[in-house]
Structure 1
Amino acid sequence: MVQVPRRPVISAPTLIRSLARISTFTPPEAAPSLSDRMSQWVGWTDAIALSSALKAPPPAAMSGVRSAAHGPASELTRVRADLAAAIARDCGLAAAPGGQIRALSAAERQRAASFAEFPAYRQRYATSQQTMDTAISALRTRLRGQLAAQSPDTARLASVDTVMERVMGTRERTLLASVPNLLEAHFVRLRDTEQAAMAAPRAPGAPPLAPAGTWLDTFHRDMQSILLAELDIRLEPIEGLIAALASVHPGENVSEPGQHDPLPR
């Protein structure tokens, strides 16, 4: 496997640590407080909308909202599994029987590496982001509908979440759209490192090199791990809504935030 020097990384969310491992990006030693970040991201019109949603009298609980065919936890598990499988496909990893992820064969890897260009992976990354955005937004809307049907207080929470999705969604998409730029630099480093190793004279007794094209398999898996970390971040609001539903119906099988089913890595 191609080895690219990795730097030590300070404690940070998984996505930030993953990006730091593959790039020269350095996470801040002390992250700004949430209130400081919010003051930068939320404009005065957004602040008014949030304030209005928080201060408005609790709306009446909605009636006639159909329950989902499965519980919230099951819905989250299904959406997470579907998106993880889509990410594997977009990263060039094929699903083998049993749901395991199959690495490319040596012949496939060498051929793919010979023709690999990053713009195709930039498009794949954008496709994965759009798939996540669509599926998660639909699930978030369904969960808000369930909250709105429970009580006036949970209906108000659903109203606040509607505003938060609009306010924070644009900022989130802008930040995450920059991730492919870091991946491109990683793509080039992996490719150039293998090419330099293949071209360098070999000393007698030196250990054998990894098969040609191994760098692309490494890149596929790094891209997959970063997209899965991004998926976790995108699902955090969903976990919050599920926790709110669990508080209304204690004892139901609802996952707590941060308790995820294992994903293929």
Structure 2
Amino acid sequence: MNQAVASAPHRNARLVRLLTELAMIEEDWPHKDFADRLGQMLSFADSIVLADAHKVKPERGFVVVTDSCEDLKQAVLHTKIKLVNGVIQSCAGAADRPKIRWPDLEETASEIPFERYHRFYLSHQRDQDLALRVVRSSAREALTGCTPALKKLAVLDRALEDTLWDQTYRMLALIPRLLQRRFNLLQQQAQPGWLQRFRKDVQALLLAELDLRLQPVLGLVEALEREVSRKS
């Protein structure tokens, strides 16, 4: 099976590092270590439930309906590929008219409004959020039907989504506004190809953001795969 889905989600702050490298945030940005802390908290929550999974008392009347993780892994992989391709195709101005289209503006135009790119980024954020909420819910459903321990993890993940990820979404909502700093800097420097450079920066940011959003889902997949392997 594809290791991209099967492997544990990495716990680095790729998105925050990219924001720093593009001069969109300062070194002392209040949210600088948020992505790292997010990964650590998810890992900690996972370990609370799974470290002593064999000690969990059997749940009376529990019926096992999930004995494989392949369907879930395929669903997550399909969603990831669809979202990655959506970002790449729309940023490349694909001829097949992607759902979200890069603003068709020339850097020699007398006026290039940032608002067009702001809306472009917001559209991709909404697309990612909706798709990953659906697949994350499916992941919890799969865990709920596997073992009492994973059912407990699914409940915990739902609580995390309602609390911890609310903070994450607020942080991610800052990115389209921070993106204007990068746009203004490149526009002021006015080097040839600056708008193409900006397009590549936007693509890199969207893919890094997707990477972060995928972490909780990949964590659930890993937990299910580990438990299925233990039982087999």
TM-score by length of 2: 0.71
Of the candidates 160, 167, 175, which is equivalent to residue 164 of structure 1? Answer: 160
Note closer, same or farther for the CA distance 1:76–1:115 as it changes in structure 2 (3 Å cut): farther
The answer as to 2:80 corresponding to 1:84 is: no
Percent identical residues: 26
Of the candidates 188, 191, 210, which is equivalent to residue 187 of structure 2? Answer: 191
Instruction: Determine the C-alpha separation between the residues in 2 that align with 1:246 and 1:119.
Output: 43
Cα offsets for 1:39-69 (capped at 9, x unmatched): xxxxxxxxxxxxxxxxx9886645667989x
Q: 1:1-265 residue pairs with structure 2 within 5 A?
A: 13-23=13-23, 25-28=25-28, 31=33, 34=37, 61=62, 71-90=71-90, 92-95=91-94, 110=106, 115-194=111-190, 210=192, 214-250=193-229
Q: Secondary structure at the match of 1:71?
A: helix
Note closer, same or farther for the CA distance 1:27–1:61 as it changes in structure 2 (3 Å cut): farther
Larger RCO (CA within 8 A; separation ≥ 6): 2
Amino acid at match of 1:94: G
Q: Alpha-carbon deviation of 1:26?
A: 2.6
C-alpha RMSD of matched pairs (Å): 3.5
Instruction: Determine the C-alpha separation between the residues in 1 that align with 2:108 and 2:164.
Output: 38
Q: Which runs of 5+ in 2 are unaligned?
A: 1-11, 42-55, 97-101
TM-score by length of 1: 0.63
Greater radius of gyration (CA): 1
Q: Is the 8 A contact 1:22 1:186 kept in 2?
A: yes
Q: Which runs of 5+ in 1 are unaligned?
A: 1-11, 39-55, 98-102, 198-209, 252-265
Note closer, same or farther for the CA distance 1:119–1:141 as it changes in structure 2 (3 Å cut): same
Q: Is the 8 A contact 1:125 1:180 kept in 2?
A: yes
Note closer, same or farther for the CA distance 1:246–1:79 as it changes in structure 2 (3 Å cut): same
Counterpart position of 2:7 = none
Q: Is the 8 A contact 1:147 1:158 kept in 2?
A: yes
Instruction: Determine the C-alpha separation between the residues in 2 that align with 1:168 and 1:116.
Output: 37
Note closer, same or farther for the CA distance 1:119–1:67 as it changes in structure 2 (3 Å cut): farther
Equivalent pairs counted in the alignment come to 195
Instruction: Determine the C-alpha separation between the residues in 1 that align with 2:113 and 2:155.
Output: 44
Q: Secondary structure at the match of 2:183?
A: helix
Structure with more of its chain in helix, by fraction:
2
